[in-house]
């Protein structure tokens, strides 16, 4: 399904990103993976997938222009990109009732990692796609929170994911004629580090999911791999909800 495609996946050392790397490799793609810093998780993904050490690129996406740097490094490594998956993100509090310094830090870092870096990566990818005859595909990972909001202490996260949805729709509308396709995926709770670990919070989270459980990273990865295949070009601009019917639009 993905034979002859080269795919850049951000935030690929664990969770949805690692599951996506596995799904894409199994479907025949060549992958270039990203993580914020080296570590055991990235080493495990590299070993599990039989990749080379330099198939993993490390960039701190909270830093200015890191998204552009990452795309440039991926192109240097792979020569070309057919698909970009913007999965990397952070979930940190922007406390409405807490210290204003923590408030400022929460908004600043969240917007840098969840909005500016993906936007820069999209721009770098679009510039690359425009220099080719066959276009390209971008899949942006947003969140259910981008539609319905989040907890009162997490407005920055919800706002950042709403921004991801808006930029995806904007560029999908504007670039479809150039065969540059963009999709968004809006998961609810997924079995990753972001999922509630406190037992009472976990009960509350699962109680609001009609399916009766949080999603698995592999479910999101399967949707990403399908969209990356180019099988549904007319769905460009669409957002795919993966939340067990906890938020139905």
Show the tokens assigned to 28: 């025949």
pLDDT band at 73 (very low <50, low <70, confident <90, very high): very high
Domain presence at residue 247? no
Between helix 15-26 and helix 40-49 the angle, nearest 10°, is 10
Domain presence at residue 22? yes
Q: How many domains does the chain have?
A: 1
Domain presence at residue 62? yes
At residue 186, does pLDDT exceed 90? yes
Q: Which residues are catalytic?
A: 157
Domain presence at residue 11? yes
Domain presence at residue 248? no
Sign of CA dihedral 106, 192, 61, 225: negative
Q: pLDDT at position 198, please?
A: 55
Rounded mean pLDDT of 54-80? 97
Domain presence at residue 93? yes
- Give 189-203 pLDDT, tens digit per residue: 998 766 556 545 767
Show the tokens assigned to 7: 């795919």
Domain presence at residue 202? yes
Q: pLDDT at position 142, please?
A: 98
Structural domain including 156 reads: 6-242
Domain presence at residue 1? no
Q: pLDDT at position 249, please?
A: 92
Report the candidate in 206, 68, 209 with the shortest Cα–Cα distance to residue 127.
68
Q: Which CATH number belongs to the domain containing residue 54 in this structure? A: 3.40.50.720
Other Cβ atoms less than 10 A from the Cβ of 227: the count is 25
Rounded mean pLDDT of 174-193? 94
């Amino acid at each position: 399904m993905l034979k002859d495609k080269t795919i850049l996946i951000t935030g690929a050392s664990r969770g949805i990103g690692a599951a996506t790397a596995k799904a894409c490799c199994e479907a025949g793609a060549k992958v270039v993976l990203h993580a914020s810093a080296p570590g055991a998780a990235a080493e495990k993904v590299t070993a599990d997938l039989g990749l080379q050490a330099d198939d993993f690129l490390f960039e701190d996406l909270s830093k200015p222009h890191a998204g552009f740097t990452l795309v440039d490094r991926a192109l240097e490594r792979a020569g070309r990109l057919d698909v970009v998956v913007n999965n990397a993100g952070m979930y940190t509090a922007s406390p409405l009732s807490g210290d204003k310094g923590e408030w400022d830090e929460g908004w600043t870092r969240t917007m840098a990692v969840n909005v500016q870096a993906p936007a820069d990566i999209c721009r770098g990818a679009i510039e690359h796609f425009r220099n080719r005859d066959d276009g390209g595909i971008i899949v942006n990972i947003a969140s259910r929170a981008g539609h319905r909001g989040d907890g009162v202490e997490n407005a920055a996260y919800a706002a950042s994911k709403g921004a991801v949805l808006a930029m995806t729709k904007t560029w999908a509308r504007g670039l479809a004629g150039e065969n540059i396709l963009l999709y968004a995926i809006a998961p609810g709770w997924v079995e990753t580090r972001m999922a509630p670990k406190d037992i009472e919070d976990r009960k509350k989270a699962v109680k609001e999911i009609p399916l009766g459980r949080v999603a698995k990273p592999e479910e999101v990865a399967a949707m990403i791999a399908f969209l990356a295949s180019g099988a549904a070009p007319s769905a460009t601009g669409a957002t795919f909800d993966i939340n067990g019917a906890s938020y139905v639009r």
